[in-house]
Amino acid sequence: MKKVKSRRHAAAAQTPSTQQEELEDGEEDAAPTHYPVSTSTETPRERRTLSNRVQENCEEAGVRRSRDLIPKSQAGALDPENHDKSVSPSSLLGTRDPSTSSRSSTSCSFSGYDMVLSSSSASSHSSGLSLSPPLPPSVELSAVLTDTRLTLDVYHGGAGALPLLWGSVPTELRGIQYLRLGSEDRSGLDGALNVLTNLTELRSLAIRGHRLYDSKGEALPGLLISLPSSVSSLTHLVHLDLSFNRLSSVPPCLLSLPLLSSLLLCHNFISALPPEICQLSSLAYLSLLGNTLGSLPSSLGQLKALQKLDVSHNLLQELPDEIGGLSELVQLDLSHNKLKQLPESMGSLFSLRELVIYSNDLRMPSCLSKLSQLKIDARDNPLGKPPTPPPLPPTLGPSATKMPELHLGFNQHRFWVTPAGCHVFLPGGAELVFPYRCLLTATRLSWAEKTPNRKWVWLEEHDVLLSRPLELRPHGVEFLKPVEVCVPYHRKKRREVVVRRFDGESWCTLPTDVKRGSKNNCCHPGGNPVRLACCLVRSFSWFMAVGRPVQDSCSVTPTGALLVSSSDPGIKLHFPPDSTAQTRSVTLQVLQVSESTVQAVCGDPQVRVSPLLCLSQNPCLNFLQPVKVQIPLPSGLTGHTTDLSRLHLLHGDPAAQTWTDITSQVSLYVTHLYAIFYITHFSWYWLWYTTQRCVSGVVRRVYQRLKQFKVQFLVLQRKTDPSQVLLQCLPTNKVESRVKFLSEQYDGPHPSDLCDLLEGEQFFAGFERGLDISTDSPDCVSGRLCFVFYSSLKNLKEVYICPVQGQTGPVRGQVSFYRGEVPSNLPEEVARKRKGLDNQWLATLPLKLPALNSDNSFNLDEQQYPPLNLGDPESGYLTEANLLSISLQIGQDWRVIGINLGLSYQELERIEYKHRDNLGALVLHMLFHWAHRQKSEGPGAVSRLTAAMIESGRRDLAEEIEDIVNIGRRKYSESLRRVGLEAEGSCPAEAQQ
Whether the predicted pLDDT of 86 surpasses 80: no
Contacts 24+ apart (CB under 8 A), 494-497: 494/550, 494/567, 494/592, 495/464, 495/547, 495/548, 495/549, 495/550, 496/547, 496/548, 496/549, 496/550, 496/551, 497/466, 497/531, 497/533, 497/545, 497/546, 497/547
pLDDT, position 959: 86
**CA triple 860-862-868, angle to 5 deg:** 145
Max mean pLDDT among 7-21, 85-99, 745-759 falls in 745-759
**Structure confidence by residue, pLDDT tens digits, 480-507:** 999 999 999 887 667 889 999 988 888 8
Pairing of strands 674-679, 746-751: unpaired
Q: Tell me, what's the pLDDT at 486?
A: 93
Alpha carbon separation from 148 to 99, 181, 207, 228 (Å, rounded): 9, 15, 17, 23
Residue type at 268? N
pTM of full prediction above 0.75 = no
More confident residue, 729 or 70: 729
DSSP code of residue 314: S
Q: Which long-range contacts (CB under 8 A, 24 or more apart) does 232-237 make?
A: 232/256, 232/257, 233/197, 233/200, 234/196, 234/197, 234/199, 234/200, 234/202, 234/205, 235/200, 235/259, 236/177, 236/200, 236/201, 236/202, 236/203, 237/202, 237/203, 237/204, 237/205
8 Å CB contact between 804 and 771? yes
How far, CA to CA in Å, does 678 sit from each of 66, 134, 385, 661, 685? 87, 103, 58, 15, 11
Domains and CATH numbers, the chain: 141-377 (3.80.10.10), 405-548 (2.60.220.30), 551-694 (2.60.220.30), 711-825+838-846 (2.60.40.2660), 870-976 (1.10.533.10)
The answer to whether the CB of 925 falls within 8 A of the CB of 932 is no
Asked if 458 contacts 504 with a C-beta cutoff of 8 angstroms, the reply is no
Burial of 84 (0-12, 13-18, 19+ CB in 10 A): middle
Digit-coded pLDDT (tens) for 921-942:
788 888 888 877 776 666 778 8
Report d(CA 720, CA 718) in Å as an integer.
6
For residues 734 and 866, the answer to whether their CB atoms sit within 8 Å is no
Cβ neighbours of residue 832 under 8 Å, at least 6 residues apart? none
Q: How many helices (H) and strands (E) does the chain have?
A: 19, 50
Select the more confidently predicted residue: 873 or 724.
Answer: 724
Structure confidence at residue 369 (pLDDT): 74
Average pLDDT over residues 731-751: 84
The share of the chain scoring above pLDDT 90, in percent, equals 18
Higher-pLDDT residue of 752, 524: 752
- Residue 133 has what pLDDT? 62
> Is residue 270 scored above 90 in pLDDT?
yes
Q: Which of 148-152, 258-262, 600-604, 984-988 has the lowest mean pLDDT?
A: 984-988
- The Cα–Cα gap between 769 and 847 comes to 10
The pLDDT confidence band at residue 885, using thresholds 50, 70 and 90, is confident
Q: Where are the beta strands (DSSP E) in 214-303?
A: 239-241, 262-264, 285-287
Q: How many residues does the chain have?
A: 993
The yes-or-no verdict on residue 32 having pLDDT over 70 is: no
pLDDT category at 692 given cuts 50, 70, 90 is confident
- How far is 127 from 101, CA to CA, in rounded Å? 11
Once rounded to an integer, what is the mean pLDDT over residues 64-73?
34
Q: Say what the pLDDT of residue 708 is.
A: 79
Q: Is the pLDDT of residue 53 over 70?
A: no
Confidence of residue 723 (pLDDT cuts 50, 70, 90): confident
CA distance 948 to 48: 15
Which amino acid would we find at residue 691? T
Report yes or no: 766 and 783 within 8 Å, Cβ to Cβ. Answer: yes
Q: Residue 433 and residue 532: Cα distance in Å, rounded?
A: 13
CA distances from 62 to 48, 58, 65, 257, 285 (A): 28, 8, 9, 16, 11
